[in-house]
Structure 1
Amino acid sequence: MSTLMPDHLDQSRFFPENRRRLSAPAMRTFLAIADLWRLDEGQRLLILGFPARSTFHKWAKTAREHGELTLSVDTLTRISAVLGIHQALGVLHRREQEGIAWLRTPHGATVFGGRLPLDLIACGTQEGLMTVRRFLDAAQGGIYMEPVEALDRQAQPYRDTDLVIS
């Protein structure tokens, strides 16, 4: 009989040594995405769970210098959600700037209520982040995504030459 647990039940991912191994690379990646998305310091702090400014700057400096740090499970979960959102935007939009425009354009889907998806991402709660991530994951899976009028008017249909068949 195997004593191995399924991944979703494996609590070892929360052990300090695993969090230490992941924290600096996760923070560097978060900072790169935050720069790409043009997030201000307040948005960055809210997304990360509102650490003290000095703590955030210490994390950023340590990560950029490839030092060691150990982030909390909550902070790593928030960064993971940002990574998932960024990945989904890359899948759903042809160009990086289109994905960023989607974040910064009011959206008619019920979960956004006419607000910017970025407002929900930076509302300060883990649930806001996860809501946007789940919305984009569903869109990737083919579940209907309500149109964003300003962006969809400019959309160009795919051509046969755009398809890659391997």
Structure 2
Amino acid sequence: MQTANELAHNKAAAAVGLTTAVRILDKWQASGEQGEAILRVSHSTYARARRGDLAEIKLDSDQLTRISYLLNIHAALRMLFENPENLYGFVSMANHNPYFNGRAPLDVISSGDFAALYETFKRVDSLRGAQW
């Protein structure tokens, strides 16, 4: 059982993670609907994250994992690209590698399917030489 202090720390960390993920999605030029589907959060939660108004937030393990994958996709892209146009534009570009088949990574993960988010992370991460 978590102490009150641990629970408060976890809620604060979840709020920071969600706010950061929403900022990244905004830089990727994802629509609110796309961001909500990717992170599996409600419209009101997404809007509150955009405003940085997440004092009381409860996220389940699926949502936290989605945030983690999104942050890790961004981290991998930061290792690959120095140019902000590529860093933030990569996910919107048509990708002709086998998994994407001409679709942009953002379009793939916007389905809200957890497996699509995982597969996109795996493929972006492999570009930087990650071993699976």
From the two aligned structures, give the one with the greater helix fraction: 2
> What RMSD in Å do the two structures reach over aligned CA positions?
2.3
In structure 2, the gaps of 5 or more residues are: none
Match of 2:38?
Answer: 47
Residue-pair matches, total: 126
1:31 aligns with 2:22: yes
Q: Identity over the aligned pairs, expressed in percent?
A: 29
Deviation digits for residues 99-148 of structure 1 (CA, Å, limit 9, x no counterpart): 222211111111001111111121111111111110111111178xxxxx
- Quick one: structure 1 residues 99 and 55, their matched pair in 2 at CA, closer, same or farther if it must change by over 3 Å? closer
- Quick one: structure 1 residues 30 and 100, their matched pair in 2 at CA, closer, same or farther if it must change by over 3 Å? same
Match of 1:138?
Answer: 126
Deviation digits for residues 1-25 of structure 1 (CA, Å, limit 9, x no counterpart): xxxxxxxxxxx8xxx8264242111
How far apart are the structure 2 equivalents of 1:40 and 1:135? Answer: 23
1:80 aligns with 2:80: no
Match of 1:146?
Answer: none
- Quick one: structure 1 residues 69 and 94, their matched pair in 2 at CA, closer, same or farther if it must change by over 3 Å? same
Per the normalisation by structure 2, the TM-score is 0.82
In structure 1, the gaps of 5 or more residues are: 1-11, 144-166
Larger Rg: 1
Structure of greater relative contact order (alpha carbons < 8 Å, 6+ residues apart): 2
